[in-house]
Amino acid sequence: MAYVEPHAGGFRAVLYVRTVRRRLWLGHITKSAARQLARHLEALNIARDTGTAPPLEAIRWTQSVCPRIQQQLAAFGLISQLPSASITETTLRPFLDAHISSRTDLRPRSISRLENAARHLVDRLGPAAALSAVTPADADRFARWVRATFAHSHAGKLISDARQLFGAAIRERIIHANPFDAIDSSQRHQLGREAYITAADTAAIIALADPFFAALIACARFGGLRVPSEPLALEWSHVNWESSRLTVTSPKTHRHTPTRVIPLFPALEPHLRHLSELAPPGSLFVFDRNRSTAAKVWRGRLESLITRAGVPKWPKLWQNLRASCRSDLEAQLPGFVVDAWMGHSAHVGRKHYTRVNDSHFAAATHGAIHGAIAPTTADAGR
């Protein structure tokens, strides 16, 4: 292990502990710089003990320090087997391509996200940029560009994905520190994109839809399903007509809660029954149209129905339908029940899915919140 040891007057040393304690005198140096050098020493020590190549940053450091420190490192046995000054740099694009192609554990959507982040990194930093040469200042400039170019939520995801990619370079021992560690990757919630879709507006849209699309809209607005992933995974065997329950398979949360069971709500059940009556015998999937292009085709179809119904178009078409379902349930049922049926945590539900609507204002202004208590004469005169 290597520790920073302070001395009087701002002088510091690195106390190097292996079999015996040894000091590497650094002179007058800042505490953060001393800690960085201690990390280099630790990396060199691990490389020697494991017989692996040290990180490129540590190698470069040993070649740039003064001869006195190089002599001490040689006495410690840390630089006798280091590569020569001719070092092959690991550049950005080859590393990112190789890493992403190796992530066979990720779903296609996650791979697509990483590829998108990698594309922006290469565009902004250059395909031939050395990973070890990317500085926190470069990460700052990338983050500022991302925040200025994309919506808040998407920008936060891009920065988070960039941090993940550089974290992989640390695990490969190509770099020692992640330039994105101190960058804010929060996904700021945009209240302006929230909308509550009333049951009446939903009914007006459903009235113009065919049975297939009517059931799909009802699943989102009255069942709280994520569209398109959860309807695409819905099979007729998941519908239990006797117990009035529906088993929802969630590709998004499959690692933690692969399925959840929700009621066949009265506003949802008739649409599913009608669809089941029209389904050919032996049908497997409830929603069997446009399965390879659902995200695009279903969105376009919903936009068309909204226009025909004369309902004002809202942002985030499918998510706000699901969020409106949560808002209705939250007004009548305990939160833990709503969380279980919606398939997310209470924190996520409060931040992204709960909508204030006209019924809340009506309840407040008609005395349903605090009770219809008339003010006293003294209060009225104030």
- Looking up residue 275, the CATH number of its domain turns out to be 1.10.443.10
- 363 vs 356: CA distance, rounded Å: 12
pLDDT digits (tens, 9 = 90+) for 204-255: 999 999 999 999 999 999 999 999 999 999 999 999 999 999 999 988 766 6
Does residue 24 form part of some domain? yes
Does residue 85 form part of some domain? no
357 plus 215 within the same structural domain = yes
184 plus 201 within the same structural domain = no
Taking every pair of Cα atoms in the chain, the longest distance, rounded to a whole number of angstroms, is: 92
pLDDT digits (tens, 9 = 90+) for 63-76: 777 777 777 777 77
What's the total number of domains in the chain? 3
- 263 vs 245: CA distance, rounded Å: 4
**Is the pLDDT at 380 greater than 50, yes or no?**
no
Give the model's pLDDT for residue 53.
73
Cα 152 to Cα 148, 158, 196, distances in angstroms = 9, 10, 21
234 plus 174 within the same structural domain = no
Task: Lowest mean pLDDT of 238-252, 345-359, 367-381, name the range.
Answer: 367-381
217 plus 352 within the same structural domain = yes
The pLDDT of 85-92, averaged and rounded, is 64
Residue type, 128: A
210 plus 116 within the same structural domain = no
Does residue 241 form part of some domain? yes
257 plus 322 within the same structural domain = yes
- 377 vs 382: CA distance, rounded Å: 9
pLDDT digits (tens, 9 = 90+) for 101-112: 999 888 888 899
43 plus 99 within the same structural domain = no
- Looking up residue 101, the CATH number of its domain turns out to be 1.10.150.130
Residue 64 has phi, psi (to 5 degrees) of -105, -15
pLDDT band at residue 13 under the 50/70/90 scheme: low
The whole domain housing 180 covers 92-188
**Is the pLDDT at 3 greater than 70, yes or no?**
no
- 39 vs 14: CA distance, rounded Å: 10
Instruction: State which H helix or E strand residue 22 sits in.
Output: strand 21-28
**Is the pLDDT at 171 greater than 60, yes or no?**
yes
**Is the pLDDT at 262 greater than 80, yes or no?**
yes
Residues 17, 18, 22, 24: is their CA dihedral positive or negative? Answer: negative
Q: Does residue 7 sit in helix, strand or coil?
A: coil
102 plus 48 within the same structural domain = no
208 plus 327 within the same structural domain = yes
161 plus 205 within the same structural domain = no
285 plus 344 within the same structural domain = yes
- Apex CA 24: angle with CA 82 and CA 68, to 5°? 65
Rg, Å, the chain Cα set: 30
Boundary of a domain, candidates 32, 52, 76: 76
Give the model's pLDDT for residue 141.
94
* pTM of the predicted model as reported, rounded to 2 decimal places: 0.57
Task: Lowest mean pLDDT of 81-90, 271-280, 320-329, name the range.
Answer: 81-90
Give the model's pLDDT for residue 235.
96
235 plus 345 within the same structural domain = yes
Does residue 87 form part of some domain? no
